[in-house]
Structure 1
């Protein structure tokens, strides 16, 4: 009986709904593209393009998920990313790209530290603090840029920036070998015939099969944009830390019940501040990638992206009240949002409807998770 409940929970809307949503959305768009005589939707180029477009939001979304898990949130990430981009472009011709990159990352982490300290040491609500820093940091960007676009003119520095963001990473063999290894692990687990963890074993084998099929379909020349590789590495590390380490369990405990966590010896304040630092660091990295994409930026760059980042986390089922969330599902949530954008572009639909559709998707997702959570409690 408990095993059946575990199956239903693992494959129910609350746990797996975001995966179903992405698969359904892509299937609908593929059928629509075929019906309109458009190129195949599931082409390697199109799918890679979606992942590339979602990479910056995904990187910030991973750190945002950690902040949300601790029971707070950060509205300043887009402004921090824009400031990091301005720092990188402004300093690269003076001190070189590597040192300018370090300065951009330090800028993001420093603002995250300020946010975390104000929220947790002074006790001001995170919404008020990060709304204030959103405005203040954006104003600082306007001051530093004098309201004008910045551009890198040094060809050596520009080449380094483009290499940092535009390099493509061979992915056929890593994806194929990783899929085969995961498939072998899943088969080994199935052969043990233990009733516990059936859903996990099946999910592992399905994921492994998808990786193998994707690698074979793409062919030996398949390569990923380096920003997608950054996203995959960051997501994998964050997921492992959150699910397999003491540090990760303490992040969840901090957001789930801060007082109980404090009584059990966890330094709640340090973990909450640390989450803000990670958020600022991720925003700084995303800003550096954004600036390196074209070697230029304008003072309104990434404006409004903070809402997209939060929407991706909500689509992934991360609780706004803390104690629950998955960085992997947040990345899938980002893919859903950019798949929608991609679909609007491919089908040549008016951009006027895009915000309406995306907002509706977020509300529906939140409703599904809420109803699913109530049913889970009732069960």
Structure 2
């Protein structure tokens, strides 16, 4: 059994711990600054907990000593601190961050590391890059890659058509920070919340718009090889107009703590969610312009004896799959590892990656 540290005892961290302890191949220590949060995690013979101040380097290094890997489910602003400690202690590092600047710093750290540093192992960034890169490999010449992902309530009941499903800090960060894209072959930054579009899937209409971080390192990997590459977050129609009013008209982009308080006290969380994944790639084969699309919906379900939301399942399954592949030596075990280096077939064949397999779809919501 391999010893693993999971940092963060929230919804995602607890889901990761549940998957890893249930499989029987990992001993897991869940660390958090809050004893109250740790006490909410269901007991398991292969699980222990630790109250740790992540900002205390000595505490963090003591926690990591002798471990195989550390998986960060902590807020994005703690990413670098954890990655630095992992590199110092020769412990493999995996995270879920969508923050572009944090990933750049992790990449720089990896240049001298003796272990693997693997950021962005969740859904988007993460699985979405694996899908996009795999579809792109089917073409002699790639023209465009359009990647769309959303974690949505199955039954929206407010003006935003939205319920909280994951980190509020991460949500606000992706709504505010600039977004990478490739436009006419050039890698550029585009503003968040812009370039709104609509599409339908299974009879349901969605909107999609620019948000930060979802592409991971794919822009850098495919620069010079594709004419158009972009990522947009999926919501139900009407969402982005209200968000833009809050951020721009009311100036809450400069007061994210106020926006966080509003979201967390006005938007209820829900376990009845759906993750929508929609990737379209077009390119040339035998001189003809052709297109391939990957479309999938993942719903909340009972996993390892507990009901988990769709975003918990997809995010936790993503990072657990990468950990498994790392433990097997199926991906590089040293340096910076990009998500798009991972084979889609290997990912989906993995015991955790199988949670992404298309299942019988729930009925479309009422109009």
What TM bracket, shorter-length normalisation? Answer: under 0.3
Higher relative contact order (CA 8 A, sep 6+): 1
Considering fraction of residues, name the structure with more helix. 1
Q: How does the TM-score come out when normalised to structure 1?
A: 0.22
Q: How does the TM-score come out when normalised to structure 2?
A: 0.22
State which structure, 1 or 2, has the greater radius of gyration over its C-alpha atoms: 1
